[in-house]
Amino acid sequence: MTDVLLPDATGHFGPFGGRFIPEALVAALDELDAAYRAAKADPAFVAEFEAMLRDYAGAPSMLYEARRLSAQAGARILLKREDLLHTGAHKVRNVLGQALLTKRMGKRRVIAETGAGQHGVAAATAAAYLDLECVVYMGELDTERQALNVARMRMLGATVIPVANGSRTLKDALNEALRDWVASVDETHYLLGTAAGPHPFPELVRDFVGGIGREARAQSLEKLGGLPDAVAACVGGGSNAIGIFHAFVPDEGVRLYGFEAGGDGVKTGRTAASITAGSKGVLHGARTYVLQDADGQTLESHSISAGLDYPAVGPEHAWLHDTGRAVYEPVDDSEAMAAFQLLCRTEGIIPAIESAHALAGALRIIPALREELGREPVIVVNLSGRGDKDAHTAGEYFGIL
């Protein structure tokens, strides 16, 4: 059974996680770890974080019973409405937590990497809110694909640096942000966007977004008088998924499903499903599942969803997969987009394409779950973000733009 106290003191989830990083970063990570542990134990920090989430970000997000969708799907589906938080996604929880921690450490500058631009916008938001300088690294290709988010970040006062190395996408932005951090660590906090990377980031990010699951669990008990049969989330780096899973991990009766971006399909090789299509390796500071060739060179990932387009996954997901506590399956672009359209039409909710993967996966597991339970299953789906940012991609996909 999974030990909920993981990671261990050196950041390992079984064989996963740890620190595969230059020595030059160890002192900074140790400083961060110590500051985080002190902050976590400080009621004033916890209270300030909770007040920010409540008064500024709009948490707790509601757990919404999607009745028309449920009727069509043959299951009772509840949506955790992270899309309604400030900035439009669960990520605001992580950035507020880390920005507050940055202030506590006496640092005045944050750097961040971003793929679709969502984390960059969230980081720029938190930096503006807490008066921190903010530099965002973004793959050049992504700055072209997500020009509006670049504009948003700049409006919020952040400096956006397009990265022209390698595939010019998220992983290259991450490399560049790490390089900046090695050179500027005294005054800079690296505001990592997902529950991945070297210890203590996977744990720290999980804890900052862990309110998703704690809220959803309490809301389920209140609304349903019990726990759901399953919890579903999309998995790129995996922060929204670990955020909703974590509180449910000890509840053995609650099935946990992580839906990876299948892209064109895992068999085509054009995929971002690191657990399904990848293998154990080391990338960006941690041992985890990685899309890689036989020589350990990272493969380019592909997904219609920029936020899931990442060739690795947070180490705790690797562990939850290996222990069998959570099940990970790929959802292809087309399946995700069908779910996207279904949610638009049945509930009047335009989801982020990322979140549409979670919904598509949930729809897929209903028949087997119904058979297993002998009744209509109750499924909580993490609607991790809203689809405003995807209007262009979806509009083109459906031929209406």
Partner 1 sequence: MSISVAFEKARAEGRAVLVGCMPAGFPTVDGSIAAMKAMVEAGVDVIELEIPYSDPVMDGPVIQKASDIALANGVRVADTMRIVEAVAATGAPVVTMTYWNPIEQYGVDRFARDYAAAGGTGLITPDLIPDEAHDWLAASDAHALDRTFLVSPSSTDARLAMTVAHCRGFVYATALMGVTGAREQTSTAAPTLVARVRAVNPDLPVGVGLGVRDGAQAAEVGSFADGVIVGSALIRCVLDAPDEASGLTALRSLSAELAAGVRAVRR
Is 140 catalytic? The answer is no
Which listed residue (80, 91, 171, 389) is catalytic?
91
Pick from 356, 340, 56: nearest CA to 234: 356
Q: Least distance (Å) from partner 1 to the CB of residue 25?
A: 8
Q: How many residues does the chain have?
A: 401
20 vs 56 by CB, closer to partner 1: 20
297 vs 400 by CB, closer to partner 1: 297
Q: What distance lies between CA 162 and its chain's CA centroid?
A: 22
Q: Least distance (Å) from partner 1 to the CB of residue 17?
A: 10
Q: Least distance (Å) from partner 1 to the CB of residue 393?
A: 26
Tell me whether strands 63-65 and 16-17 are parallel, antiparallel or unpaired.
unpaired
- The answer to whether 195 and 201 are in contact (CB under 8 A) is yes
Q: Least distance (Å) from partner 1 to the CB of residue 114?
A: 17
Which listed residue (113, 176, 215, 335) is catalytic?
113
Which listed residue (82, 107, 384, 389) is catalytic?
384
Tell me whether strands 76-81 and 63-65 are parallel, antiparallel or unpaired.
antiparallel
Q: Least distance (Å) from partner 1 to the CB of residue 269?
A: 16
Give residue 288's identity as a one-letter amino acid code. Answer: T
Q: Least distance (Å) from partner 1 to the CB of residue 73?
A: 40
Q: Least distance (Å) from partner 1 to the CB of residue 182?
A: 6
185 vs 304 by CB, closer to partner 1: 185
CA distances to 54, 151, 262 from 131, in Å: 19, 19, 39
28 vs 160 by CB, closer to partner 1: 28
Give residue 147's identity as a one-letter amino acid code. Answer: A
Pick from 249, 264, 242: nearest CA to 330: 264
18 vs 258 by CB, closer to partner 1: 18
Distance CA 221, CA 216 (A): 9
CA distances to 167, 216, 379 from 222, in Å: 47, 10, 15
27 vs 148 by CB, closer to partner 1: 27
Q: In the structure encoding, which two tokens stand for residue 55, read together?
A: 């008064």
Q: In the structure encoding, which two tokens stand for residue 287, read together?
A: 């041992």
Give residue 206's identity as a one-letter amino acid code. Answer: R
CA distances to 53, 258, 281, 384 from 243, in Å: 15, 12, 23, 10
Is 384 catalytic? The answer is yes
Is 334 catalytic? The answer is no
Interacting residues of 65 by C-beta distance below 8 A, sequence separation 6+: 76, 77, 78, 223
Q: Least distance (Å) from partner 1 to the CB of residue 186?
A: 8
Distance CA 262, CA 281 (A): 20
170 vs 380 by CB, closer to partner 1: 170
3-state secondary structure of 133: strand
Q: What angle, rounded to 10 degrees, do the helices at 353-373 and 333-347 form?
A: 90
Going 227 to 81 to 244 to 34, the CA torsion angle's sign is negative
153 vs 283 by CB, closer to partner 1: 283
Contacts with partner 1, residue ranges (CB under 8 A):
10, 18-24, 26-28, 165-166, 171, 175, 178-179, 182-186, 281-285, 290, 292, 294-298
Active site residues: 91, 113, 384
